[in-house]
Each structure stands twice: as structure tokens, then as C-alpha cells.
Structure 1
Amino acid sequence: MSSSATPADASAHQIQRLNPKVLVISIAAAIGGFLFGFDTSVINGAVNALSDEFALGAGLTGFAVSSALIGCAVGAWFAGALSNRYGRIPVMVIAAILFFASAIGSGLAFGVWDLIIWRVVGGLGVGAASVIAPAYIAEVAPAKFRGRLGSLQQLAIVLGIFTALLSNALLANTAGGAAESLWFGVDAWRWMFMIEAVPAAVYGIMALFLPESPRYLIGKGDLDKASRVLYDFTGEVDVNLKIQQIRRTLEREDKGSLRDLLGGRFGLKPIVWIGVLLSLFQQLVGINVIFYYSTTLWQSVGFDESQALLTSTITSVMNIVATIIAILLVDKVGRRLMLLVGSAGMTVSLGLMALAFSFGEIAPGADSITLPDPWSTVALVAANAFVMFFGTTWGPLVWVLLGEMFPNRIRASALAVAAAAQWAANWAVSATFPALSNIGLSFAYGLYAAFALISLLFVFLWVPETKNRELEDMDDLQLGHRKKDAEKTAPSTDGA
């Protein structure tokens, strides 16, 4: 075991203030997260109009809506290998091009199948952005501020979701309906897709001016550029020492590949399994059910369908507020404790939702469930509590951990595998919810509560604390509560 005074400690103590430059480039990188949120949500406002336009049945409509998730998983899987080979910035530019092409192609689609193809193209961009943004931000951010800067990814995602809802509403209201003509005789639902081309172009242009990740540059032997990035953006004072530390973690083998993730009794290295399971639990608690199927929930507690936009907007704003709270707390409280609190809170709130819906009633001739008092209020409060617990913990912190917990050599590849698993779980939860709700909403929310409880045990037993640790120390990261010295040996630079 290393002594308590290590070079990494000294380096961390040198960085006491956040360099505005690293904040700017982190925000620019997080625009990929904004497009991630926008692209996955924008179809919600267009689905009824495009279903009528192309005379789609329920099955094909559902596939059109979920088709982007196929691209998300594929894009995430290949983004790591591409970024290892060509760099983090080129992958951002590729993602921006995919977003731009998908926006225009989806808006001008002449049939459902080319719409699906363009949605898959957009999904490739979403998957790539979900990998490259947290990896890049973690690699340019100082350890002391890495949690806050890494949380910008989730803040950008929820802002993208909110902006998609808002732009959909504005376009539909201006045209008098999503299926009505707007500018140049083009239907409003088509403009809902095409408007995404604007932030996609901004993302691509800004990416061209971003500095490359110093970890990638050192791996390619470009030490001069890496030195400038570390000094000008990250704020390293002893650049040569930091380069030596990074080189040691990168040069343990000749070349990185997906094979480097293999090991241990269960096929993957333990730290990679931690990342994969974090990704799975983030989805298995059912957060996207709240967003994708929120209308059903709100109607069951007495809201009219016409108020769906208002209620969805309230949920989105709550998610934004929750993410801001997480940004303020993550580098002070630490990742593990916040995840534990989040899991406990989600378990209770989802359990209350399951209990409330066990009292649900379906009136004769009605096709939706209603809740009597006081269970309608309990369900409403519990649903919003669930969003807050998720938004302040598991929403942003999983992205933070995935960006920082893997050793330098396998970071991009491991993050790609974890993100692909996350998209697969997202699809599985969204696709199975209608069948689960047919059994009963009480059963569905009870199942998500069980996953939340398991996530609590998982974090307690296996998830390490990465607060204030340098990325170069992640090779020696200890797993679980049985080796708590991982946090104790990390430098305390908080000042709190």
C-alpha cells in the first residue's frame, strides 16, 4: 500500500480553484447530453401526428418510438473503440453529424420505415454522446471538481428533455396542432424533429474548438499538446509529474482493447461489472416509466389528459432542480453516501406507489385506473419524491462514476460496455411496462421498488468511493465497504 503522502496528493492540493476554462469546455462537451435528452424526448410530441400521417397500428407506432434505443445501444458500444483510436473530439463531431442528419431526415421522412432509419441514426449519436461526454469531462477535470463537472452531463440531459417538451408545445400551439401546417407548408410535427438541427450544429462547431483529452494525447505520445491542456485547462502546476503518472497507468500494456475488460470469475473485471450493474440499476428502478408513461399516472390521480403537458413540465423542472442540488452536494458528500440515500428513498417512494395503486379502481366502461382519496395524494407525492431522490442521486452520479471509476487504459471501452447495457435496460423497462401494467400498476411499481432495494445492497457492498481521487489512482480502487481505506487514503482538498 502506498504512503499517505503521494505525488497524486500533492498534485491535488495544488488545484484549489476551478479554472473557468475547464468549466467552459465541460459545458461544451455536455451539449452532447443536451442532444441526448432532446432526441430521446422529442418524438413524444410528434407520435400521434406521425401515427395518423402514416396510418400506423399500435405495434408499428411503438417500434417507431423505441427504434432510437437500438441505435443508442450500438452507438454506445462502438464509441469507446472509436475514441481510443481517433480521439474524444472526433467522436463528438461524428455524434453531432448523426444528430444533425437524424433531425433533418426524420422531419422530411416520407414513410414510417425511413423515419425509423433516421431515428436509429439519431440513436447512434445519443449512444456515442452518452459515452464520450462523461469520459471527456472526467479526463479534463481536476479531482476536486470532477463530481460537479461530471454532473453537468445529467443536467444537460434533463435540460434537453425539458427543451424538447417546451419546443413541441410551442410548435404545436403555433400551428394549432402537431398535425397542422406550420412554416413553408410543413407540418408542425416535422418541425419538432428538424429544430434539433440547431443545437446539433452548435455542438459540432464547438467540438471542433475543444482541446483533446490529455489522457488520449499522452497515450498517442503527443506530450506537448497534453502539457498545454493540463496546464491551461485542468490547472496542473507540476505538469511533468502528472504526465509521468498518466504514462505509468497507460503503459502497463501495449495497446488497449475490449479484451482488457476481461478477467475474474464472471468474465469481466470486477470494476467493469460494477459499472455495468450501476447502469442497469439506474434503469431498472423504472425512472423512464415516469417520463414515458407519466400521462397514465397523472390521469389515475385525477388530472385531465389535456393537462399532460403541464404535469410533464412540472416533472421535468423538478428533475432539473434535483440535478442542480446534486451538483452542489456531490463533491462535498461523496458518491457512495448519496447513492445509498437515493436507493433508500426510491425504495420507500416506489413502495408507497405500489401500495397506493393496490387500491386502484376501474370504473365500468373506463380504460384507465383511478385512485380514491387519500391514495391519489399518496401516489402523487410518492411519484414526485421518487423523481427527486433519483434526480439528486442515481441520475447524475452514475454518469459521474462511469466517467471516473475506470482505470485510464480501459475507461472509454468500459464506459462503452456499461452505457450499452444501460440502453438495453432502458429498452427492456420501457417495452415491458405495458405488460406489467396489465398485471397491475401495483405489481409494476412493486417490482421497481424491489430493484431499488437491491441497488441499496449493491452500493453498500460493492460500490467504491471515488471522491477526490485522481484518475491515475483508479487502478488501485478498492471495492465495497470492507475496504473503506480507499476513501481514507484520498486527499482531502474540500476545505469544508
Structure 2
Amino acid sequence: MNKQEKVNHSYIIGISLISALGGYLFGFDFAVISGALPFLRMSFQLDAWWEGFLTGSLALGCIIGCLFAGNIAERFGRRPGLMLAALIFAFSSLGMAFSWGLSSFVTMRFLSGIGVGMASILSPMYIAEISPAKIRGRNVAINQLTIVIGILITNLVNYFISDDDPEVWRWMFGLGAIPATFFFLGVIWLPESPRWYALVGKHQKAKEVLARLGSPLYVEKTLSEINASVTGTIKSSYRDVFGKAVRPAILVGITLAVFQQICGINVVFNYTSTIFEAAGASLDRQLLETVSIGVVNLIFTFLAMWQVDRLGRRPLMLFGAIGLALSYVGLALLLQTGAYTALISIVVLLAIAIYATSLAPVTWVIISEIFPNRIRSKASSIAIISLWAAYFILVFTFPVLVEKLGAYGPFYLYAGICLLGFLFIKLRVKETKGQTLEQLEETFTSH
């Protein structure tokens, strides 16, 4: 970046962190189920089918949230959507805590998913739209950082409050109202996205926001690029998202979103207790393993943030796909042969480290980058709906697969999926680092 195109780094990081608290809510709801499942099994007498559906009901809500988020972000702006996501999450967290039976709990978990789904689109989208090109990858990765912080803190809380009380799961879920409240209060302070202002014709407001982000030269150059990309556009529809020109970007976005889930790592996050119970671990050891996973996840997410704008997106994705494939084969063999719990733990943590350095943050970065300004909200919605649909399929089928194939069987399947993902990334995914969102329109659209 030209020295005269200076940007206000501290301000941009500050508003990115606030927006990324949406990721914390994602991390909370993602992790809380792992610690709560042993208690929910007792309270609700869950069989394999209901265990999978209860876990996956969050993803079904996320799909609805993604559909809402795209329209809200386009009509009212990114900021109101983030505020609504926070309110929904706070209400549903208390709803789960006070639920009176399985049906009411699943309903509230579904509602929680709506809030998580909205935040999963709007937080990285907002950060991408307010970040300069050279630091956009790192800033969007802040969203992944808050996800893993949410996972770690939730696992720690679950571990320390778990006791012999079968109703302790109510506290585990109810505590989610606290970060949701902080998120809502923080979003009040955020400016609206300058790119959204430009899309709806409020060019003076876009200029005012950009002036808070950087120098006059940065404002002039960025505003010129944004205006050029939206000039002559009309209100977008979902049909536009599948137009021939943007089809290459949609193919990459949807495939990477689905791959991030069906690569299998999230069964480790959500079913830690199931995996380590199969290895003979006690309940206390199962909960302790969730904490270890959270710590490793956090450490290697920091590594990813440091490298995503240096090494680039594509090399990290290739590394993640092949690394997970090898890790899963090792994990399956250890579970199949009844190896020591410590050895299984080491391989699980290795897989978490690989995922945290690659597929976890980089997928969100790429999805936030590759779609044209005029359809970004709707295209992001479709990609992330695909992600949540894949997540539901993954977590719903895992208990059933374990019942049929044993705890080790599904990991051979996930290894094969990772090899296919490696080939797709090698053949179809282009590098995006260092390019503005407007330049990437040229890279990922056909003419």
C-alpha cells in the first residue's frame, strides 16, 4: 500500500473485534453441546437418532438464519442484522436453560441456530468490507479467533461447573446470554459498512465511514473502486447469484463451505465424549479432552492469522486437506486396535492443529472475498447455507455410523473426503491474498 494511503489500523482492528464477537456466539453454541451431551443423554434418554438430531438442530436453524441474514443485510445493512442475531441468541440461550422437555429444548436450540447462522454470514462479511486488501485475511481470521476463544472458554466453564447434578446442562446453555448481551452493546458502536452505503446510493455516508478508516487518498481510491463495481447495478436476486458470469465463484464458495464441514473434524468437536468413551476414558477425562482441544485450537488459530496474508489462502488449504486425511487414517487405526487413550489424544490434537491452521479460518476468508459487491450478501448466504446443511448431515449421521461401524469406521470415510477436497482445491481454487474485493471480481468471474 502506498505510504500516502495510510489506514487507521487500531480503529479497524477494534471494530473488527467487536463484529467478530458474532464468532464467539458460534463458538459457544458449537462447544457447549460437547460438554452437555453426557448430561443430556441422561435427562432426555437419547438414542443415537435423537442424539444426532438434537446436536444437528442448531445447523437447521443456521440455514434459516442465513436466509434471513442475506435479505436483512441487503435491505437494512450489516449492522442491524448483527444486532438482531445477538438478541435472538440471548433469548434462545435462556430458553434452552429453562426448557421443560426434549421438544422445547430442540426448538430453542433451533432458534439459537438462527442467531448463529446470521452472525456466521454477517460478521466475516462486515469485516471484509471494512478492511484494506493487505490485512483483510488477518482481519477476517479474527472471526475464527473469536470462534475458537468461544470454544475454549465454553469448554473450560463446562469442565469446572460439571458435577453430579444431572441438570447442570441448564447452566451450561444459559450462560450464553452473557456474551450475546456484550455483542449487542458492542454492535451499537459500529459504523455501517461503506460498501453497503454505496450499494444503496448513500455515497456521502460511505465516504464518511471510509474517512474514519484511512487517509484522504485511501478514501478516494477505495470509493472510486467501490463505485465502479456497483455502477449500473440493480437490486440483486438469488437468480443473479447463479448467473453464468459469477458461477465460478459460486462453485468455489459452495464447495469449500461444504468441504469445511464434511471433512469430518467437527465430529471431534461435538462428539469428544463419544470418541473418548469408546477409548475407555472416564467422564472427567472426556471433559478434560474438550479443554485440551480448545487450547490447541486457539494456539494454532493464532498461527493461521499470522500466515494467511503471508503464505496465502491456497497453500494453507492444500496443507489442511492432506494433513487431515493422514491424521484420520491414524486415528481410525488407533481406535480400531484399542490403543492407549493418550495416543488417541495426541492424534486428535494433531488433527485439530491442522484444521485450525488451514480449513477453519481460510474457508471463511475466501467466502468473504470472492463474491462481487452487488451479490455478496446473497451469495454468501447460499455458500454458508451449504456449510450448515453439510454440518447437519455430518453431526446427524455420526452417532448412527458409530452404532453401525464402530467409533473408528467414520474416520476412514472422512479421510477419503479430504483427498477429494485436496484435488478440488488444487484444480479450482485461485489465490486471493493482496487483492482488493473489486479486483477479485475479475479473478472469480467469467467474461
Query: 1:409 corresponds to which residue?
Result: 374
Aligned counterpart in structure 1 of residue 224 of structure 2, from 218, 237, 244: 244
Aligned length: 445
Find the residue that maps to 1:331 and give its secondary structure: coil
1:429 corresponds to which letter in structure 2? L
Query: 2:65 corresponds to which residue?
Result: 75
Q: Distance in 2 between matches of 1:32 and 1:371?
A: 39
**CA-CA distance at 1:349 after TM superposition:** 1.5
**CA-CA distance at 1:347 after TM superposition:** 1.9
**CA-CA distance at 1:297 after TM superposition:** 3.1
Map 1:469-484 → 2, pairs under 5 A:
469-478=435-444
Alignment pair present for 1:227 and 2:227: no
Stretch moving more, 154-163 or 438-447: 438-447
Query: 2:12 corresponds to which residue?
Result: 22
Could you say what the CA RMSD is over the residues aligned between the two structures, in angstroms? 2.3
Aligned counterpart in structure 1 of residue 128 of structure 2, from 134, 138, 161: 138
Decide whether aligned partners of structure 1 residues 391 and 202 sit closer, same or farther in structure 2, where only a CA change above 3 A counts.
Answer: same
Q: Distance in 2 between matches of 1:446 and 1:47?
A: 24
Q: Distance in 2 between matches of 1:191 and 1:12?
A: 52
Decide whether aligned partners of structure 1 residues 93 and 478 sit closer, same or farther in structure 2, where only a CA change above 3 A counts.
Answer: closer
Whether the 8 Å contact between 2:8 and 2:213 is mirrored in structure 1 is: no
Query: 2:101 corresponds to which residue?
Result: 111
**CA-CA distance at 1:209 after TM superposition:** 1.1
Query: 2:257 corresponds to which residue?
Result: 279
Q: Distance in 1 between matches of 2:408 and 2:39?
A: 31
Aligned counterpart in structure 2 of residue 340 of structure 1, from 314, 318, 335: 318
Q: Distance in 1 between matches of 2:37 and 2:347?
A: 28
Aligned counterpart in structure 1 of residue 427 of structure 2, from 461, 475, 481: 461
More helix as a share of residues: 2
Structure 2 residue runs of 5 or longer lacking an equivalent are none
Q: Distance in 2 between matches of 1:466 and 1:444?
A: 33
Whether the 8 Å contact between 2:34 and 2:272 is mirrored in structure 1 is: no
Alignment pair present for 1:177 and 2:169: no
TM-score (norm 1): 0.84
Deviations 1:168-216 (A, max 9, x none): 23333xxx4343xxxxxxx533222221111111111111110000100
1:79 corresponds to which letter in structure 2? A
Aligned counterpart in structure 2 of residue 419 of structure 1, from 370, 376, 384: 384
1:44 corresponds to which letter in structure 2? S
Once superposed, which parts of structure 1, at least 4 consecutive aligned residues long, lie more than 6 Å away?
A: none
Find the residue that maps to 2:260 and give its secondary structure: helix
Decide whether aligned partners of structure 1 residues 436 and 108 sit closer, same or farther in structure 2, where only a CA change above 3 A counts.
Answer: closer
Q: Specify the structure having the higher radius of gyration (Cα).
A: 1
Specify which structure has the bigger relative contact order, considering alpha-carbon pairs within 8 angstroms and separated by 6 or more residues. 2
Query: 1:387 corresponds to which residue?
Result: 352
Structure 1 residue runs of 5 or longer lacking an equivalent are 1-10, 180-186, 361-369, 481-496
Query: 1:484 corresponds to which residue?
Result: none
Q: Distance in 1 between matches of 2:305 and 2:239?
A: 34
Q: How much identity, in percent, do the aligned residues show?
A: 35
**CA-CA distance at 1:450 after TM superposition:** 1.0
Find the residue that maps to 1:467 and give its secondary structure: coil
Q: Distance in 1 between matches of 2:362 and 2:156?
A: 26
Stretch moving more, 284-293 or 297-306: 297-306
Decide whether aligned partners of structure 1 residues 234 and 32 sit closer, same or farther in structure 2, where only a CA change above 3 A counts.
Answer: farther
Decide whether aligned partners of structure 1 residues 263 and 200 sit closer, same or farther in structure 2, where only a CA change above 3 A counts.
Answer: same
Decide whether aligned partners of structure 1 residues 280 and 111 sit closer, same or farther in structure 2, where only a CA change above 3 A counts.
Answer: same
Find the residue that maps to 1:332 and give its secondary structure: coil
Decide whether aligned partners of structure 1 residues 28 and 386 sit closer, same or farther in structure 2, where only a CA change above 3 A counts.
Answer: same
Stretch moving more, 316-325 or 469-478: 469-478
Alignment pair present for 1:452 and 2:418: yes
TM-score (norm 2): 0.93
2:144 corresponds to which letter in structure 1? Q
Decide whether aligned partners of structure 1 residues 427 and 53 sit closer, same or farther in structure 2, where only a CA change above 3 A counts.
Answer: same
Alignment pair present for 1:320 and 2:298: yes
